[in-house]
Amino acid sequence: MTALLSLQQLSKRFRGLVAVDGVSFEVQQGEIFAVIGANGAGKTTLFNMIAGALKPDHGSIVFDGKPIQDLSPDVVCRRGIARTFQLVRPFPALSVEDNVVVGALLHRHGVGEARARAQALLRRFDLFDRRHHPASALTLPDRKRLEVVRALATEPKLLLLDEVVAGLRPTEVDRLVAVLRELNRDSGLTILMIEHVMRAVMALAGRVLVLDHGVAIAAGTPDQVVRDPAVVQSYLGAEAV
């Protein structure tokens, strides 16, 4: 097994607040890896550093054998890391289809070709019927799926999902989880997810890292970490187990 993504002693400080403090972990090719932790634990900061939106103060991020911590977000995406945003950010006035076309154009030069690719993806994620709607007219679950589709259209090696099932109803969570697992199984897509919804974490993740106040306090399989006393104490709460 080779590590697709490797973080070494990654730190980020905002004025006095240490958001991420010396976090190291590796994501293996083809696995689904989850980062969990309470609000303010530093999960999104960690994500933003991997995606190039924030520069780390210390440490290195190696993706596919090359350091990426100094690259800008568009270059990181070109290298093969696509992300979704915690608060969804589709292009509101563009049609659902055009949103995905933008992503598909990253590695394609023909708009027609990109459109064909976009339509295939929209079919897979049940958004094909709504492809001519402006993205702003979609419901929240649909917009969340659209973000995933747009990210996938860039043909990433690693997909970063930032609380992609938060705010969805349990049946919608299960549907999205099913599609993501299918993608991981069929195309070997590596997924790194931040998640609050333990239902999705337990169903998807092979390994989990727990962050607490910017520090990695536990790592292992979902079953292991939910029984870890430190995790129960800091995050899940005693009554959760």
Residues that bind another protein (CB under 8 A): 51, 53, 72-74, 77-78, 82-83, 85, 89-95, 98, 101-103, 105-106, 109-112, 114, 132-134, 150-151, 153-154
Choice between 151 and 189, CB closer to another protein: 151
Q: CA-CA distance, 204 to 206, in Å (whole number)? A: 7
Q: CA-CA distance, 227 to 72, in Å (whole number)? A: 38
Contact 41, 211 (CB under 8 A): yes
Smallest distance, another protein to C-beta of residue 70, A: 15
Choice between 105 and 180, CB closer to another protein: 105
Smallest distance, another protein to C-beta of residue 217, A: 29
The single-letter DSSP state of residue 23 is E
Q: CA-CA distance, 16 to 199, in Å (whole number)? A: 34
∠ CA 60-62-64, nearest 5°, is 175
Smallest distance, another protein to C-beta of residue 69, A: 16
Smallest distance, another protein to C-beta of residue 11, A: 23
Choice between 134 and 206, CB closer to another protein: 134
Contacts of 163 (CB under 8 A, 6+ apart): 86, 194, 195, 196, 197
Choice between 77 and 209, CB closer to another protein: 77
